[in-house]
Amino acid sequence: MSDNKFALPIHWNDYEDIAMELYEKFGDDFGESKIYRIRFTELLEWVLSLPNFAGKREESNEGHLEQIQSAWVYEWRDNQ
């Protein structure tokens, strides 16, 4: 998805799309326990740097970041 210039923009509520992008970026370097230990400030920067991400920093909140973490764990589990 990240190499596709025609991909739809990703927004804060697109938790599964964000999780898939993060898994593609980091692969198995981050397992379940490591994903849940990521600081939200760091996660925020990673999400903002994803290709096709159209959300704004000021639109983020703790709930979005928690949902992204959970979706990322499920994405990691699905690929094990």
In the three-class reduction of DSSP (H, G, I as helix; E, B as strand; rest coil), residue 10 is classed as strand
Quickly tell me which residue has 């991400």 as its tokens. Answer: 53
pTM, 2 dp: 0.89
Domain ranges of the chain: 13-77
Is the confidence at residue 77, as pLDDT, over 90? yes
Confidence (pLDDT) at 64: 97
Percent share of the chain, pLDDT over 90: 89
CATH superfamily of 13-77: IscX-like (1.10.10.600)
Whole-angstrom Cα distance, residue 24 to residue 45? 16
| Amino acid at the residue 39 | R
Calpha distance 61→32 (Å, rounded): 21
Give 75's pLDDT tier (boundaries 50, 70, 90).
Answer: very high
